[in-house]
Structure 1
Amino acid sequence: MFGKLAANARGKLPFAISASVVQLCFLIIFAVFGEYDEFSAVRGASEPPDSKDNIQEYYPMYRDVHIMVFAGSGLLLCYMRHYGYSSIGLTFLNCALALQWATITTGMFGFISIANERAELAPGEDKPAYKFPVGVSSMLGADFTAASVVVTFGILLGRVSPLQLLVVALVECVFYSANEALNIHVLQAQDPGGSVQIHVFGTYFGLFVALTLYKGWGTADPPKYTPNPSYVSNMFAMIGTLLLWTLWPSFNAVALSDDLRSRAVVNTYYSLSSCVLTSFALSKLLSHKHKFDMEHIQNSTLAGGVAAGSCCHMFLMPWAAILIGCCAAAVSVLGYLYITPLLEKKLHILDSSGVHNLHGLPGILSAIASIIAAGIAGHSSADGFINYQNSLYSVFPARAPEAVSGNCSLTAVEVSLGIECGDGRSAATQAGYQVALLVCTMALALTGGSISGLVCRWPALQPPTYSEWYDDDMYWNVPDGSESQSSLERKYDTGMDQDVTIHPDVILLKTATLNEQPSSSNGADLDHARAPSIMTHHEFGF
C-alpha cells in the first residue's frame, strides 16, 4: 500500500514542486529587479502628466493580441478528439509562465543598455540602477514571446509531458530574448509583426526540439496512431481560426504608430482576405476527393497574417499585400500536402499541428518580401523604386544619416516627425540586415531547440510513452463518457499492430468487450466479435 502511495507521489510531486519553485523564483526576481515604467510610476506633485497616454495608445490593440495568444491559439489547437483539455489548459499554463519569464529575460538583456550608459558617466555621477521596467510595453513584449512559445507547443502537442513543456518554455524565452536584443542593438532589421522573430523562431525551435527529443525513435518506431479530430473538436478549432483571423491586424500593427500603424492594418487586412480565397480554392483543387479539407481552412487561411508581418508597415501598395496573401496560402496548403509527410518520412520529425506550414514557411516568405521591399525603398524616386519621401527614416530608422559632430542632415519635417540620427545605411545594406535577421533567428532557434530537446530526454521530466500520446486522461480528471480515451482503450488501439491507424469514426470501445477478448485465432471471428463494441459519432448524435 505504502509503495503504491509513494509511486503516486512521485508521479504528482515533480510538476507541483517544479512549478512552485519556478513561481517563487519569479517572485524574488521581480522583487529585486522589477519596477514600474515611466508611465506607471508614481508622480511627484510638481511633475506634469506625460503628454503621451500610453494606455490609450497601446492597450486596445494589446488586448486583441492577448486574446489571440490565450483564446485564439488555445482553441485552434483544440482540434484533437482526445486532447482538448490539454490543448487549451497547457496553452494557458505555458503562456502564463512565459508572460512573467519573458519580462525578466527581456529586462535582463536590457541591462546591456544600462551597462553602456553607466560606462559613459563620469565618476561620482548618479548611475542608473540595474532594474527592468514593467508596464504596458513590457506586457506586449511578453505576449509576443508567449506567442512564440505557443507556436512551439503546437509542434509538440500531445507528445510531451507538462514538465517537459515547462523546460521548453523556460529555455525558449531566453533564446527569444537574446534574438530580440541582437536585433535591437545590432541588426535593426524591420519585423514589427514578428514573422521572423516570433513565427520562424518558434517553428524551428519546436522542430529541433522534436528532432532531438525523438531522434531515432529509441528502440522502435512509434505506433502510427493518428490524432484524429472529431466533428465537434474541429468546430472549436474553427472558432479559434476566426478569432485569430479577425484580430491579426492588431497583432501586426500594435508596436507601430501613426501612418506606419495604419499601413500595417490595411496591408494585413487584404493579405488575410486574399489568403482565404486562395486557401479554399487550392484545398478544393488538391485535397482528397476534391473536397475542402478542414486542416487547410483552419490553418492556411491565417498564413496571410504571418506573411505580412515583416513588411506590413512598408509602402507595398494594396495589390502587393493581396499578392503576398495568395502566395502564403499556396505555400501553406502545399506544405500540408507534401512537405509535412516528407519531414515525417525522411527526418522523423512529427509536427502535430502542421505549424511549419502555418508559421514557418509563411514566415520565411515574409522575410523574403521584407528583403525585397527594403532593397527598393528610397528617399526619392531617384534613389529607389518606391518613394517613401519623409517616411523613409520612420520605416527604416537605421537608414537615417549618421551623426557627424553630434548632428545629422535631417530636414525640418523629419525632425518634427521625431526621427533621430541613424547609421546612414543604403537600401542594399538594409536588405542585407533583413537577411541577417532571418539567418541569426534560424541559428538561435536551432541551437535553443536542440538544447531543449536534449534536456527533455531526461527521464525525471516524465516523458510520456508512445501509448500515452494524445490523451487527456494521462493528466486530467476527465468526465465519464467524454471523448478522451482511457489507457485501456489506448492499449487496445495500439496493441494490435505497430502500423494500425485508428478509424476516424471510432470514439469509444466498451470496457466489457476489452476485458473479454475472444480467444479465437480466426481473423473473421475476431472482427465479428469486436464489431458491436465500436460506436461512431453518428450514434452519439455528433
Structure 2
Amino acid sequence: MTDAATNMRLKLPITCFILQIILIILFGAVVKYDHETDAKAWHNMTESGHSNYDNDFYYRYPSFQDVHVMIFVGFGFLMTFLQRYGFSSVGFNFVIAALALQWATLMQGFLHGLHGGKIEIGVESMINADFCTGSVLISFGAVLGKTSPVQLLIMAMFEVTLFAVNEFILLSALGAKDAGGSMTIHTFGAYFGLMVTRILYRPNLDKSKHKNSSVYHSDLFAMIGTLYLWMFWPSFNSAITAHGDDQHRTALNTYYSLAACTLSTYAMSSLTAHDGKLDMVHIQNAALAGGVAAGTAGEMMLTPFGSMIVGFLAGIISVLGFKYLSPILEEKLKIQDTCGVHNLHGMPGVLGAIVGAVTAALATRDIYGDGLKDVFPDVAKGDVEASFQGVRQAISLAVTLGIALLGGLIVGFILKLPVFGAPPDTLCFEDDVYWEVPGDEAGHEDQLTTVRTEESEKLNS
C-alpha cells in the first residue's frame, strides 16, 4: 500500500539519524550533570553534612516514573481507538516522545538552566522534558491518522522550541503560576495541534471515513490509556511543585477533581444520548478533563470543595464538546480533530487557566500564612498585589493562545510540503501505509474458517 510519495525507506532513516546525531553533539557540547547528579559535587555536599537521602532523586523520581508512564503508556494507548491504526498510535507516540524529551532538555535548558554556559540536568529536568513532550503528544492527537512519521518528527522539533519559549515567557517573564500545565501544556498543545490540522485540512478525507472509527477491542485498548492517565494524573500535576504541603495539596486537589469529573462525564454521556446509552469516546476522554482543569490552581488553596466543582464542570464541558462542538468545528471551520483534543485539553485547559486566575486574585496571607511565599512569592514579598497576580495569569492565557495559534499556522504550512510523505486521502487512519502488518482481521478470520471446515470434513469422513 506504499507508493513513492509515502515510502519511508530513505526519508525516515535520514530524518532520525540526522536529528539524533545533532542531539548527541549538542548534549556533548553543552549538557552536564547538576550538583545532585555529579559524583564530585554531590560528595562535597555530603561531606558538609548532607545525607545521601537528601538527594532530589528520592523526592522527585517516584513522580517522574508516574509522568513517564503517562507519556509512553497513557497517551500511547489512549489513541489506539482507531480500528486499523493501533501500531501507529502507540509506535509513533513512542518515537515522537523519544525525540521530544531530548530536544526539550536542550530548549528548556537554554532558557531556564544555563550555568556557566552549560545546561545542568537532573531528575527535575527529566520531568520538565516529559511535560513538554506531553504537549507535543496532545497535538499529535489532533493530526492522528493523517500524517507521516517524518511530518510528526518535524512538528515535534518546532513545537518543543515554541513550547519552551512560551513557558519561559509565562513562568519567568510574566511570573505566572502553572504547576500542572493547564496553560503551558494542555492549552498550548491543543490549540497548536488544532491550527496544524486546520492548515493540513483534507477536503476529501471522507474517502477514509470508514476507517476513522473504533471496534470493540480497540476501544478496550484505549481505555487502558485512560486508566493509566487517570490514576497517575495527581503525580503529573504535583511533580514539580515545592516539597511539603504544596505537593500534597496539588495531588489532593487533582484527585478529587478527577473523581467529580468522572461522575459528571457518565451523567452527561447518558443524558446527551437519545437512548440513554453511554458513549465510550466520552468515557475515554472527558473523564480526564478534571485533571487538565486542576492543573493551574492545583497548588493553590483551591480547597477540596473547589476542586470538585472544577472537575464537575470540566466533565460537562468536555462531553458537550464531543457531542455538539466537534462536528461544528469540522463542518464550519474545517478543523478535523481526530482525537478531540479541543474537548479534553483545549476547553478544560482554558477553564483551568481561568480558575487559576480567579484563585490567584483571591490569595491572602490569612489563607496561605507563610505558605504564600511558596505559591506566590511576589505577592508574599509585597512586590505585587494578589489582584495583579490574577491579571498576570489571565495575560498568560492570552499569550499562550497567541503563540500556539501563530506557531501552529506556520508549522502547518511547513508540514504541507510534499517531501514529508503524508498519506493520501484514501489511506488515512491505516497502519499498512507505514508498518509491516502481520495480516488483517478479516484475512485471519477467513483462515480460521478454512481450518475449521477442513477439520470438520476430516472428522465426518
- When normalised by structure 1's length, the TM-score is 0.78
Q: C-alpha deviations, 1:257-308, integer Å up to 9, x for none?
A: 2101111111111111111111111111112421000000111111111111
Equivalent position to 2:289, from 296, 303, 319: 303
Partner SS for 1:388: helix
Q: Equivalent pairs: percent with the same residue?
A: 40
**Which structure has the highest helix share of the two?**
2
Q: CA deviation at 1:182?
A: 1.1
User: Structure 2 CA distance, aligned partners of 1:9 and 1:233?
Assistant: 25
Aligned residue type for 1:373? T
Aligned partner of 1:27 in structure 2 is 24
Aligned partner of 1:82 in structure 2 is 84
Q: Using a 3 Å threshold, how does the CA distance of structure 1 residues 266 and 274 change in structure 2: closer, same or farther? A: same
Equivalent position to 1:394, from 374, 380, 384: 374
Aligned residue type for 2:78? L
User: Structure 1 CA distance, aligned partners of 2:96 and 2:43?
Assistant: 43
Equivalent position to 1:202, from 189, 195, 201: 189
Structure showing greater radius of gyration is 1
Q: Runs of 4+ in structure 1 displaced over 6 angstroms?
A: 507-510
User: Structure 1 CA distance, aligned partners of 2:255 and 2:349?
Assistant: 17
1:54 aligns with 2:30: no
Q: Say whether the 8 Å CA contact 1:82–1:483 is kept in structure 2.
A: no
User: Structure 2 CA distance, aligned partners of 1:155 and 1:137?
Assistant: 28
Q: Say whether the 8 Å CA contact 2:253–2:298 is kept in structure 1.
A: yes
1:293 aligns with 2:279: yes
Q: How does 1:40-439 map to 2 (within 5 A)?
A: 40-43=37-40, 47-49=44-46, 50=50, 52-110=54-112, 129-214=116-201, 217=202, 222-223=206-207, 225-226=209-210, 227-256=212-241, 257-380=243-366, 387-401=367-381, 424-439=383-398
Q: CA deviation at 1:164?
A: 0.6
306-315 or 102-111, which moves further after superposition? 102-111
Q: How does 1:10-21 map to 2 (within 5 A)?
A: 11-21=8-18
Q: Say whether the 8 Å CA contact 2:318–2:343 is kept in structure 1.
A: yes
User: Structure 2 CA distance, aligned partners of 1:46 and 1:154?
Assistant: 45
- What runs of 5+ residues in structure 1 fail to find an aligned partner? 115-127, 381-386, 403-423, 485-506, 511-542
User: Structure 1 CA distance, aligned partners of 2:279 and 2:167?
Assistant: 36
User: Structure 2 CA distance, aligned partners of 1:388 and 1:350?
Assistant: 44
Aligned residue type for 2:403? L
Q: Using a 3 Å threshold, how does the CA distance of structure 1 residues 361 and 68 change in structure 2: closer, same or farther? A: same
Q: Using a 3 Å threshold, how does the CA distance of structure 1 residues 10 and 296 change in structure 2: closer, same or farther? A: closer
Q: CA deviation at 1:482?
A: 3.5
Partner SS for 1:70: helix
User: Structure 1 CA distance, aligned partners of 2:43 and 2:92?
Assistant: 47
Aligned residue type for 2:225? G
Q: CA deviation at 1:6?
A: 11
Q: Say whether the 8 Å CA contact 2:5–2:421 is kept in structure 1.
A: no
Aligned residue type for 1:349? I
Aligned residue type for 1:165? L
Q: Using a 3 Å threshold, how does the CA distance of structure 1 residues 285 and 508 change in structure 2: closer, same or farther? A: farther
Q: CA deviation at 1:401?
A: 2.0
User: Structure 1 CA distance, aligned partners of 2:286 and 2:5?
Assistant: 43
Aligned partner of 1:516 in structure 2 is none
Q: Say whether the 8 Å CA contact 2:82–2:218 is kept in structure 1.
A: yes
Q: CA deviation at 1:129?
A: 2.7
User: Structure 2 CA distance, aligned partners of 1:300 and 1:477?
Assistant: 33
Q: CA deviation at 1:394?
A: 1.4
1:476 aligns with 2:425: no
Larger RCO (CA under 8 A, 6+ residues apart): 2
Aligned residue type for 1:248? W
Q: C-alpha deviations, 1:215-257, integer Å up to 9, x for none?
A: xx46x56536141101001001111111111111000111112
Q: C-alpha deviations, 1:108-140, integer Å up to 9, x for none?
A: 2237xx5xxxxxxxxxxxxx5311112111111
Partner SS for 1:290: coil
Q: C-alpha deviations, 1:166-202, integer Å up to 9, x for none?
A: 1110000000000111123211111100111000000
Aligned residue type for 1:436? I
**RMSD, aligned α-carbons:** 2.2
Q: Say whether the 8 Å CA contact 2:208–2:428 is kept in structure 1.
A: no
User: Structure 2 CA distance, aligned partners of 1:75 and 1:198?
Assistant: 19
Q: Say whether the 8 Å CA contact 2:379–2:389 is kept in structure 1.
A: yes
User: Structure 1 CA distance, aligned partners of 2:276 and 2:42?
Assistant: 70
User: Structure 2 CA distance, aligned partners of 1:451 and 1:8?
Assistant: 23
Aligned partner of 2:35 in structure 1 is 38
Q: C-alpha deviations, 1:301-346, integer Å up to 9, x for none?
A: 1111111110011112211111111100000000001110110011
For these two proteins, the number of residue pairs brought into alignment is 439
Q: Say whether the 8 Å CA contact 2:208–2:427 is kept in structure 1.
A: no
User: Structure 2 CA distance, aligned partners of 1:6 and 1:306?
Assistant: 40
